[in-house]
Amino acid sequence: MTIPTVEIKDDAVRLIDQTLLPAECRIREVKTKEEMWEAIRVLRVRGAPAIGVAAAGALAVEINRSSSVDSARLLEELEAAADYLATSRPTAVNLFWALERMRETGRRHRELPASELKKVLLAEARAILAEDREMGRALGEAGAELIPEGSGVLTHCNAGSLATAGFGSALSVIYVARERGKSFRVFADETRPLLQGARLTAWELGREGVDVTLICDNMAAWLMKTGKIDLVITGADRVAANGDGANKIGTYGVALLARAHNIPFYMAWPSSTLDLSLASGDQIPIEERPAEEITIIGGTRLAPEGVKTCSPAFDVTPGELIAAHVTERGIIRPPYAENFRRVFAAEQGLE
Amino acid sequence: MTIPTVEIKDDAVRLIDQTLLPAECRIREVKTKEEMWEAIRVLRVRGAPAIGVAAAGALAVEINRSSSVDSARLLEELEAAADYLATSRPTAVNLFWALERMRETGRRHRELPASELKKVLLAEARAILAEDREMGRALGEAGAELIPEGSGVLTHCNAGSLATAGFGSALSVIYVARERGKSFRVFADETRPLLQGARLTAWELGREGVDVTLICDNMAAWLMKTGKIDLVITGADRVAANGDGANKIGTYGVALLARAHNIPFYMAWPSSTLDLSLASGDQIPIEERPAEEITIIGGTRLAPEGVKTCSPAFDVTPGELIAAHVTERGIIRPPYAENFRRVFAAEQGLE
């Protein structure tokens, strides 16, 4: 669990280029907002929490590099850079949450001299990173009890160390359950089209010595039917006030299949993933990805030239299919609208 | 619909090497039973009906090539070759059905001189091929009414011309509906791991001018949820007496998702796919495929070296999830045990 997914230096954000995994674990130095926009867009860094941390880091580094000596000018640059980075991906809310937190930090310290403002922004980005690690650990501690001894656990996409700055969300639950001496088996959906399950989840679980078996997405139903899966746990990219959760495409289908087999389905996420401004998941924008991500792998064309595709990057799982949400504040059960309000009201300014 | 998926010559079975599609449409001449065993095993020829036709052809060609001048000896060779070819793949029943039909033809003509016996066997293999074409056409005619004008049709794997000697099963329904002037849209699941949907279905539907959109398997649920799918139709590899149907891995999941969205799910197959000797689908053997089919595509490694996989090639959809079976005898609705007996009793020797 010492994977350096994202690190924030004074002059660069260092991140593992996840497009190269599992063949190669290479650190990439991202020095400008344009480079970070591209890194987020092509999924060199991915996973809702990790995107938030990386974007916050890129903002701080961008401002730290600025030649402006005037704080008002730095704040303008901060706002412009945040607006720009916000266009990199639309669905995960942690990106907007982290950018907003950086903007607010800037505004709050607008009276500081430029050199101090730069330091405050770097410190804030690092605080976001540190808190993400702590939240990941805490939600793992909270959720570990959900994994019964000897069970089969299905996960989809990658909600692990590589999706966060630290322990992960869904996989943090798995890591903590294992630390506590539980023995169980994880099945990882490969997660087409970009294969985060095959490339990232299988890699990081294997590295930690967790018993992991890779399957194609379309095999999950049959494994449930034949008794190999006892629970499903995934991450989330944005959770609405009613408990609906957006996550990697395919999650909604897995949740329906779990329901059909009476298997509990859980979503695990740090509170930066919660968007109480949305009444329901219907309002979450769903990113559409390019055809080539489906039709080409490693230079091999898998489908006829010019074939039409449809490639939503995410889907929304209705709260009623989710047995519980696992957060750093603990396990939250339905009714979600009520229980989210109770647990998260203070920091979302609802009280 | 003039794709020469399988042709039977006197000295070879000619087949499109489907492992090369869509990059290349190359005809391969298969001259020996060993070559046919390999071609079936690695899916150069695939699709339950096409496997049956190809295996029958290989048997006839094998015997035609034999230097034996004695019919009794030829029949021994026929039995041995049929036993051998039966080990190529376990799930689809058409293979065993076609091999058995060739054996019976041999036994029935055991009194003929060797040269005549050879001709009879070649003729029988060609009859199996011709009947497969006719059945495909007939089931397309029978099923076309199931496709409403303006609908969205989801299919899984390839149950088209490439899966049969002629028009296909599920795709025959689509081809006939289109001939009748209906306009509709087809969504093709890519069908991991071997991508028959991306490589074959998208290719053959595109070639016929059908409006086809390729999706990853894990997108089907979301397309159903967002109202793009009005019905699902697939082929089948073996159908049991109670209406349970084995088909490509992922089919069972799609059927469950269709049920959850109140979308009808249909299976289309020629009667050579029916196995009334099995009371239920629980008795259908499920082939397990090698890890490399999941972990490597076109030389690109998609997952860490040595990762465990689980790769069932098929799953079984319970009859209660199937709104109707489409056969060359017409559309058959539940209760299947009763209605299969009524429709198919005569030729299965049950009367």
Query: pLDDT digit of tens for each residue in chain B (351 aa)?
Result: 568 999 999 999 999 999 999 999 999 999 999 999 999 999 999 999 999 999 999 999 999 999 999 999 999 999 999 999 999 999 999 999 999 999 999 999 999 999 999 999 999 999 999 999 999 999 999 999 999 999 999 999 999 999 999 899 999 999 999 999 999 999 999 999 999 999 999 999 999 999 999 999 999 999 999 999 999 999 999 999 999 999 999 999 999 999 999 999 999 999 999 999 999 999 999 999 999 999 999 999 999 999 999 999 999 999 999 999 999 999 999 999 999 999 997 655 443
User: What does B68-81 look like in DSSP terms, one character per residue?
Assistant: ---HHHHHHHHHHH
Strands A185-189 and A245-248 turn out to be unpaired
* Bridge pairing between strands A6-8 and B296-297: unpaired
- Note the CATH architecture for domain A6-135: Up-down Bundle (1.20)
Distance, in Å, from the CA atom of A200 to the CA atom of B22, rounded to the nearest integer, reads 29
Binary contact (A217, B221; C-beta < 8 A): no
Q: How far apart are CA A133 and CA A54, in angstroms?
A: 13
**B237 among known catalytic residues:** yes
In the sheet that B27-30 helps form, which strands lie side by side, from edge to edge? B6-8, B13-16, B27-30
Are A229 and A156 in contact by the 8 Å Cβ rule? The answer is no
Alpha carbon separation from A208 to A189, A196, A229, A303 (Å, rounded): 18, 17, 21, 36
Distance CA A227, CA B218 (A): 21
Which homologous superfamily is B139-344 in?
Translation initiation factor eif-2b; domain 2 (3.40.50.10470)
Q: Is A205 on the interface with B (CB under 8 A)?
A: no
Which pLDDT score, from 0 to 100, does residue B282 have? 97
Tell me what pLDDT residue A257 has.
98
Per residue in A118-128, pLDDT (tens digit) is 999 999 999 99
Take residue A215 and report the two structure tokens written for it: 């399957």
Cis before A22? omega within 30: yes
Q: Which positions in chain B touch A304 (Cβ < 8 Å)?
A: 22, 202-203, 206
Whether A192 and B216 lie within 8 Å, measured CB to CB: yes
Which position has the token pair 């082939």? B287
Amino acid at B20: L
Mean pLDDT of A270-283: 97
Query: According to the model, what pLDDT value does residue A21 have?
Result: 96
Chain B contact for A300, CB < 8 A?
Answer: yes
Touching check for B192 and chain A: CB below 8 Å?
A: yes
Q: Is the pLDDT of residue A1 over 70?
A: no
pLDDT of residue A350: 44
pLDDT of residue B246: 98
Q: Is the pLDDT score of A88 beyond 60? A: yes
Residue B75's closest CA among B99, B103, B100?
B103
CA B197 and chain centroid, separation: 13
pLDDT, position A3: 87
Sign of CA dihedral A274, A278, A281, A286: negative
- Write out chain A residues lying below 8 Å of B303, CB-based: 22, 190, 195, 198-199, 202-203, 214
Q: Which pLDDT score, from 0 to 100, does residue B1 have? A: 53
CA trace torsion A128, A129, A134, A139 (10° rounding): 90
pLDDT of residue A351: 37
ipTM: 0.96
Mean of per-residue pLDDT scores for chain A? 96
From chain A, the residues in CB contact with B312 under 8 A are 219, 222
The residues spanned by each domain of chain A are: 6-135, 139-344
* Residue A347: band (very low, low, confident or very high) from pLDDT cuts 50, 70, 90: low
Q: Which of B191, B183, B202, B171 is nearest to A306 (CA)?
A: B202
Kindly write down the DSSP assignment for every residue of A1-47, as one continuous string: ----SEEE-SS-EEEE-TTSTTT---EEEE-SHHHHHHHHHTTSS-S
Alpha helices in A10-143 (DSSP H): 33-41, 48-65, 71-85, 94-108, 114-143
Average of per-residue pLDDT across A163-177:
96
Q: Residue A150 and residue A153: Cα distance in Å, rounded?
A: 10
